[in-house]
Structure 1
Amino acid sequence: MGQRERFVIFLVGALLGIVLLLGGKSCGSEKKNQLRAVRSSLSMAPMMYDFAVMQKGFYGKYVLFEQVAEKEGGAKVRTLVTGGTRRYSPEGKELPEEHILIKESYASGVVLAEAGPVASYEFTYADRIVIKLKSGHQATEVRLPSGDVAAAWPGHEESLIRLDAWRKLPGGAPWGKLEDLVRELNGHPAVAEARLARIDWQAEADLIRANSPK
């Protein structure tokens, strides 16, 4: 084999190495971007998914409000409010805290404790209310005494009222009156339906599993 042939083989090998290296980096970058996108799409702090998957009661020092109600037949429903996952802008600035309302339903006779088991979970945002308007009405007609006003919700037919001022009322956010507030809004002349924004925690937990190392 001549010098020229050796040089050509060397060049081909070097080029293949570069292609494989760039391809590997590209795949790694795509995977990182995918995981980053998954993280940013999650609504709740990781421990919330862990507790829900294991059917454990959510107990901890970050609980801002707690209330227990007994249903007919002896089953209990525990309602609590806690903070959501921390979020940051693309520039790294921490965004305003989100709040999550959790409802834990226990079967009759089950002791309310971290060990559970919890029969069912319901996760919703505690810092916003979804508003379906009646025909001919505008979102700006829906205004709370706190000063919060409903506005368009990009990508949705419904409007959204963010409880920014409500959460900063003197004495702190009246979490115990949140569901009463939703009921009151359902009686507003411009509102066809008001509800808390539901979080599909099971779909998000499945997303975590699908993107976790096997």
Structure 2
Amino acid sequence: MNAMDSRTRFIVFGVGACLGAFILWFFNQHGKPAREHRKSVMVSLSLPGMYYDSAVQQKPLFGHFILAERRTKRADGTLCRELITGGRNRFAEDGRALPNDLILVTEDYALGVEPAEEAKVAAVSFAFADRADVVFQARMRSTWKWNTLFELKSDQSYEHHSLRLRDVAKLKGDDFFALVEYVRHLEHLGPPVVSASLGHIDWKAEADLIRKESGQ
């Protein structure tokens, strides 16, 4: 009887262990797509999380992460504050930290408002400060001299070009604005330049995506 009881207990234990393992496997498999989706959403975001909060709440950015800053007073007396900061932390599959993006933050203030931690930002925009796209008129590229600060990639027609800042880790102070200034120069140059633009970040669409994924 005792042997039979031991055998029965062993069978019950084995069945219970198998059932538990199956349940864990089931929930893991069904939860995996959701986790992968959330991961893909997070990877697709361009900015650190606090940037979305600050933009939605119309608060300025202050902190040690600011690499360079400029303030410009416009003709109407309003103030524009431009910042270069690091971007979202990204990692390779093996866990290695990837090079940080550079972000251009542009904060516009109402007349009479000075940048301060408690000040209200009238409008804010974000763009990548380390990459840009330039389009030339056909067959005009060969005459153009590029700034050596930038890496250049061109399509087969040599009309469309992608620029990246070189040696970002070695930059200091206003050097972080190098590509921003260069693109603005090209924007107002006219022929042979058709267009020049930094990589725009649609922070409102990304903030909406965050709200949707968090169920808010």
From the superposition, tell whether residues 151 and 177 of structure 1 become closer, same or farther in structure 2 (CA, over 3 Å): closer
Q: Quote the residue 1:27 is aligned against.
A: 30
Q: What SS does the aligned partner of 2:37 have?
A: helix
Superposition CA RMSD, Å: 3.0
Query: Is the Cα contact below 8 Å between 1:56 and 1:115 reproduced in 2?
Result: yes
Q: In structure 2, give the amino acid aligned to 1:163.
A: L
The change in CA–CA distance for 1:165 and 1:143 in structure 2 (over 3 A counts) is farther
- Could you say which residue in structure 1 is the equivalent of 2:125? 122
Aligned to 1:50: 53
Secondary structure in structure 2 of the residue aligned to 1:28: helix
Q: Residues 142, 212 of structure 1: CA spacing in aligned structure 2 closer, same or farther, 3 A cutoff?
A: farther
Higher helix share: 2
Aligned length: 195
Per mean C-alpha deviation after superposition, the further-off stretch among 112-121 and 53-62 is 112-121
Within 1, Cα distance between the matches of 2:83 and 2:135?
25
Question: Which amino acid is the alignment partner of residue 97 of structure 1?
Answer: N
Going from structure 1 to structure 2, the CA distance change for 1:28 and 1:53 (only over 3 Å counts) comes to same
The runs of 5 or more residues in structure 2 that have no matched partner are: 1-19
Q: Percent identity?
A: 35
TM-score by length of 1: 0.77
Q: Which amino acid aligns with 2:81?
A: R
Equivalents in 1 of 2:81, 2:67: separation in Å? 13
Mapped partners of 2:177, 2:22: distance in 1: 60
Larger Rg: 2
Deviation readout 1:145-181 (Å, 9 max, x if unpaired): 23x332148xxx9531111246635x56613444321
**Matched residue, 1:197:** 199
Matches within 5 A, 1:7-22: none
Q: For structure 1, which runs of at least 5 residues remain unmatched after alignment?
A: 1-16
Which residue of the partner structure matches residue 166 of structure 2?
164
Amino acid at match of 1:93: R
CA drift at 1:93: 1.7
- The answer as to whether partners of 1:139 and 1:152 remain within 8 angstroms in 2 is no
Please, what TM-score do these two structures have when normalized by structure 2? 0.77
For 1:121-140, list aligned pairs within 5 A: 121-136=124-139
Equivalence for 1:96 = 99
For residue 150 of structure 1, give the secondary structure of its aligned residue in structure 2.
strand
